[in-house]
Chain A
Amino acid sequence: MLRQHQIRDDKDFSGCSIFGMINLEGKKVDGAPIIKAIANMKERSNGLGGGFAAYGIYPELSDLYAFHMMFDDERARVETEEFMCASFYMEKAEIIPTRPHRGVSDPPLLWRYFLLPREELLDGEAEDDFVVRAVMHINERIEGAFVFSSGKNMGVFKGVGYPEDIARFFLLDEYEAYTWVGHGRFPTNTQGWWGGAHPFNILDWSVVHNGEISSYGINVRYLEMYGYKCTLHTDTEVIAYAVDLLVRRHRLSIEDMSKVLAAPLWEEIDRMPPEERKIHTALRQTYSSLLMNGPFSIIISNNYQMIGLTDRIRLRPLVAGTRGNMVYISSEEAPMHLVDDSIEHTWIPQGGVPIVAELKKKKIVEEPPEMELLREEALP
Chain B
Amino acid sequence: MKSYLLPEFIIERNDYRCIRCEVCVRQCAFEVHRYDEEEDEVFADESKCVGCLRCVTLCPTNALVVRENPTRIPQNYNWTMDYLMDAYKQAETGGVLLTGMGCDRGYPIYWDHIVLDASQVTNPSIDPLREPMELRTYLGAKPDQLEIKSHKGKASLETRLTPQLKLETPILFSAISYGAISYNTCESLARAAHELGTYYNTGEGGLHKNLYKYGKNTICQVASGRFGVHADYLEVAAALEIKIGQGAKPGIGGHLPGEKVTAEISRTRMIPKGTDALSPAPHHDIYSIEDLAQLIYALKEATHWEKPVSVKIAAVHNSAAIASGIVRAGADIVALDGIRGGTGAAPTRIRDNVGIPIELALASVDTRLREEGIRNRASIVIAGGIRNSGDVIKAIALGADAVYLGTAALVAMGCHVCQKCYTGKCNWGIATQDPYLSKRLNPDIGTRRLVNMINGWSHEIKEMLGGMGINAIESLRGNRLRLRGVGLNQKELDILGIRHAGE
Contacts and interface: CB of A to CB of B under 8 A. Distances in A.
Interface of A: 1-2, 6-8, 10-11, 13-15, 188, 211-212, 214-218, 221-222, 224-226, 249-253, 256, 263, 265-267, 275-276, 278-279, 282-289, 291, 293-295, 312-313, 315
Given A2-B495, A216-B481, 9 more contacts: A188-B122, A212-B123, A218-B477, A225-B373, A279-B148, A279-B156, A288-B477, A289-B474, A293-B475
Interface string B456-478: 00000000000011111011111
Contacts of B375: 225
Contacts of A288: 142, 472, 474, 477
Query: Which residue of A11, A265, A282, A295 has the most chain B CB atoms within 10 A of its CB atom?
Result: A282
B481 A10 contact: yes
Contacts of A252: 146, 148
Contacts of A266: 134, 136
Nearest to B497: A6
Contacts of A7: 480, 493-494, 497-499
B132 A217 contact: no
Interface string B334-367: 0000000000000000000000000000001001
Interface in B360-401: 364, 367-368, 370-371, 373, 375-376
Nearest to A269: B136
A278 B148 CA distance: 11
A253 to B, nearest CB: 7
Contacts, number: 139
Given A279-B157, A285-B164, A294-B470, A2 B494 contact: yes
Contacts of A312: 471
Given A7-B494, A256-B148, A225 B370 contact: yes
Contacts of B272: none
Interface of B: 119, 121-124, 126, 131-132, 134, 136, 138, 142-143, 145-148, 150, 154-157, 159, 161, 164, 320, 364, 367-368, 370-371, 373, 375-376, 468-472, 474-482, 493-495, 497-499
Contacts of B122: 13-15, 188, 212
A169 to B, nearest CB: 27
Q: Which 4 A-B pairs have the closest CB atoms?
A: A217-B481, A215-B475, A293-B475, A217-B479
B401 to A, nearest CB: 10
A282 B136 CA distance: 13
B439 to A, nearest CB: 40
A291 B474 CA distance: 8
A273 B122 CA distance: 38
Contacts of B470: 214-215, 293-294
30 contacts: A6-B367, A7-B499, A10-B481, A11-B481, A13-B122, A13-B123, A212-B123, A215-B476, A221-B479, A222-B478, A225-B376, A250-B146, A252-B146, A253-B155, A263-B472, A265-B132, A278-B157, A282-B157, A283-B146, A285-B164, A286-B143, A286-B145, A288-B472, A288-B474, A294-B475, A312-B471, A313-B126, A313-B131, A313-B132, A315-B124
Contacts of B498: 7
Contacts of A6: 367, 494, 497
B475 A295 contact: no
Query: Which residue of B474, B475, B480, B482 has the most chain A CB atoms within 10 A of its CB atom?
Result: B475
B370 A217 contact: no
